[in-house]
Structure 1
Amino acid sequence: MIFIENEGITDPHTNLALEEYALRHFDEAKNYLLFYINEPSIIIGRNQNTLEEINHEYVEEKGIHVVRRISGGGAVYHDHGNLNFSFITDYDKESLNNFKKFTGPVIKVLQDMGVDAEMSGRNDILAHGKKISGNAQFSSTRRMFSHGTLLYDSDLSEVGKALQVKMSKIASKGHKSVRSRVANITEFLDSPPPIETFRSQVLHGLYANRPDFSTYHLTDEEWEGVFQLRDRKYGTWDWNYGHSPKFNIQRNRRFPIGEIDLRLDVEKGMIKNMKIYGDFFGKEPVHTLEERFKNRRYHPEDIKKAMEGVDVEMYFGKIDPKDFTDLVYGADE
């Protein structure tokens, strides 16, 4: 495995562009590891409605970056106290949504430091019952990455101020506040070092007993490719916020794989537009599923026809197809 040096860049637009560039352009015969630390920012999941996830006035006032990533999952807050990691490897179906495979080495490093870390739920790392890491994944046809954030010494008071956490998510966790569910790794260390030292310790731990470890520095041409991707995608309003179509029907439900939030624009009984939001994980982009419903009757028969031949798990993860069709048109729970 090769470590990609991001040269100390803390701009989240550039770091997310670097991650995607490496996924799509680096040697497919090799596996890579990327670390990055971002300036204060909210990183939005691929399928989320940005304006409903953030405290817009607070974000504007504080100059917090808002950037959408290409992986699924929920919105997270980053600052200089977060260490973010990304494993870039070949894609295989067994690895997709197998967060334990990628977080296992990180958990072992934390345990070796004296942190009682463990995998919990679908994509979290906990210490003493509190979340210290959230993880997400993205896959192309041949390659994938599994990435996560390590809350090391983050300003946790900013999480609740910058994010508008939905009550359904709080209720599903069984806790009353965001702050009560998360913790910094420094809280579990006797003498916590600066985050730069922690970064080095994690890197050393991940590559212990790996004689093939090496560090890669991007060429000027590769950096130019990263900056172009940043400017045309991650630095744009359309990508980070996007246009929310008008709708007159909203249906949402929280499943074990995450929340699915449907918005439908129905005119004279016909579906004119559908938008799917949520913090679920899936391989295929949901817009291809949305297109299947356009110009169909908002009627159970047409909903079932739209779903014929659809592998729902590829869009949302492990979910019963009937649960999804019932969500589109069925009885509310």
Structure 2
Amino acid sequence: MKYIKTNWNIPYYNFALEEYLMTEAKKDSYIFFYIHKPSIIVGKHQNTIEEINKEFVEENGIIVARRLSGGGAVYHDEGNLNFSFIQKAQKQDVNNFEKFTRPIINALKELGVEAELSGRNDILVDGKKISGNAQYYKKGIILSHGTLLFNSDMTNLSKALKVKDLKIKSKGIKSVRSRVVNIKDYIENEMSIFELKEFILNYISENVDIEEYVLNERELKRITEIAEEKFSTWDWIWGNSPEYEIQKIDKFPCGLIDIRLNIKNSKIKDCKIYGDFFTKRNIEELETFLHDKTYEKESIKRDMKNIDLSDYFHDLDLEEFIEFLTL
């Protein structure tokens, strides 16, 4: 097995490394660990907007990223150790989380942490979650990766993943929130997250031959390209969300506005505006104008810069309307 030492603390680059190792690198077994700046990581099939507290995320500079694998949204920060296994596999290995979590669980037990695999893909201690795991399989290669909550900020975790009470109907896979706990609370001796990483790596090396693999300049350049061209893009993070419907209702000086939107591939595919407001022009004109627009604040702001909103909503500022319209 090849061990790759990485220093990226931005999720886009570690996810790009995973894709590179699965699709372009020499077919081998790999393991690497990573620690991210505060980030929310959504599963491949999730609707990003349903998984995050967007206001809290933006105010606190929390990164939003989408991974290759399915499963639910998770919170990463400097107290969260993440691991990735990539190796050749058969289809029957898919969803075999026991195979990939067993070395992690056994290493934790060596530290006195009575961890166990529970359900399909979670590692628990005292019935509380310390690790979520997910997989991605493609052309005979499997990626199995997971989190280890070592000393994560539980307050930020709960706030970042607490979505506002909006009326959203989605075809995306919603996360199921679990009770979580930090591993550090169960370790008797003082230990840093970096020492935990070394301990797990050394434990695995007792049973598997591990040699360090150093990425060359060409590989690093290619990984950077994948990160910048795919994983850090708006299209991948937000535009990849499944079709969903949303209703926004608020009271303004012009009256009550009730907007119903159908969003597909991050485009407004249907828009209906209801309320008790008065208009100078037919409201259907604005509904038609919004059709097929990218459902993103800055994009809509550019599209609507020449619209005289007073024709539709008296005394309503364009900035205020866009803030209301978008998430």
Q: 1:142: how far off?
A: 1.9
From the superposition, tell whether residues 206 and 248 of structure 1 become closer, same or farther in structure 2 (CA, over 3 Å).
closer
State whether residues 66 and 240 of structure 1, in contact with CA within 8 Å, keep that contact through their aligned partners in structure 2: yes
SS in 1 for 2:91: coil
**Aligned match of 1:214:** 211
SS in 2 for 1:43: strand
State whether residues 17 and 223 of structure 2, in contact with CA within 8 Å, keep that contact through their aligned partners in structure 1: yes
Segments of structure 1 that go 5 or more residues without pairing to the other structure are 251-262, 266-271, 274-333
State whether residues 123 and 132 of structure 2, in contact with CA within 8 Å, keep that contact through their aligned partners in structure 1: yes
2:147 equivalent to 1:112: no
State whether residues 19 and 34 of structure 1, in contact with CA within 8 Å, keep that contact through their aligned partners in structure 2: no
Q: 1:164: how far off?
A: 2.6
**Aligned match of 1:69:** 67
Amino acid at match of 2:60: K
Q: 1:91: how far off?
A: 2.6
State whether residues 89 and 145 of structure 1, in contact with CA within 8 Å, keep that contact through their aligned partners in structure 2: yes
Alpha-carbon distance in 2 for matches of 1:165, 1:121: 25
The root-mean-square deviation of aligned C-alpha atoms, in Å, is 2.6
State whether residues 3 and 34 of structure 1, in contact with CA within 8 Å, keep that contact through their aligned partners in structure 2: yes
From the superposition, tell whether residues 190 and 224 of structure 1 become closer, same or farther in structure 2 (CA, over 3 Å).
same
**Aligned match of 1:129:** 127
From the superposition, tell whether residues 113 and 236 of structure 1 become closer, same or farther in structure 2 (CA, over 3 Å).
same
**Aligned match of 1:225:** 222
State whether residues 5 and 214 of structure 2, in contact with CA within 8 Å, keep that contact through their aligned partners in structure 1: yes
CA offsets per residue over residues 149-198 of structure 1, 9 Å max, x none?
1101111111110013699xxxx97xxx85xx100000101123111111
SS in 2 for 1:52: helix
Amino acid at match of 1:219: N
SS in 1 for 2:4: strand
Q: How does 1:251-270 map to 2 (within 5 A)?
A: none
**Aligned match of 1:310:** none
Q: How does 1:25-40 map to 2 (within 5 A)?
A: 25-28=24-27, 30-40=28-38
From the superposition, tell whether residues 247 and 77 of structure 1 become closer, same or farther in structure 2 (CA, over 3 Å).
closer
Segments of structure 2 that go 5 or more residues without pairing to the other structure are 166-174, 248-260, 264-268, 271-327
TM-score w.r.t. length of structure 1? 0.68
Q: 1:141: how far off?
A: 1.3
CA offsets per residue over residues 8-37 of structure 1, 9 Å max, x none?
221111111111111112221x21111111
Q: How does 1:45-124 map to 2 (within 5 A)?
A: 45-124=43-122
Q: 1:71: how far off?
A: 0.2
State whether residues 40 and 78 of structure 1, in contact with CA within 8 Å, keep that contact through their aligned partners in structure 2: yes
**Aligned match of 1:234:** 231
Alpha-carbon distance in 1 for matches of 2:180, 2:77: 15
Alpha-carbon distance in 2 for matches of 1:42, 1:70: 14
Paired residues, number: 244
Amino acid at match of 1:4: I
Q: 1:247: how far off?
A: 5.6
Alpha-carbon distance in 1 for matches of 2:242, 2:138: 27
**Aligned match of 2:195:** 197
TM-score w.r.t. length of structure 2? 0.70
From the superposition, tell whether residues 160 and 246 of structure 1 become closer, same or farther in structure 2 (CA, over 3 Å).
same
Q: 1:2: how far off?
A: 1.1
Alpha-carbon distance in 2 for matches of 1:249, 1:194: 44
What is the percent sequence identity of the aligned residues?
48
Runs (4+) of structure 1 exceeding 4 A deviation are 243-250
Alpha-carbon distance in 2 for matches of 1:231, 1:249: 30
From the superposition, tell whether residues 141 and 56 of structure 1 become closer, same or farther in structure 2 (CA, over 3 Å).
same
**Aligned match of 2:11:** 12
State whether residues 91 and 140 of structure 1, in contact with CA within 8 Å, keep that contact through their aligned partners in structure 2: no
| Structure with max Cα Rg | 2
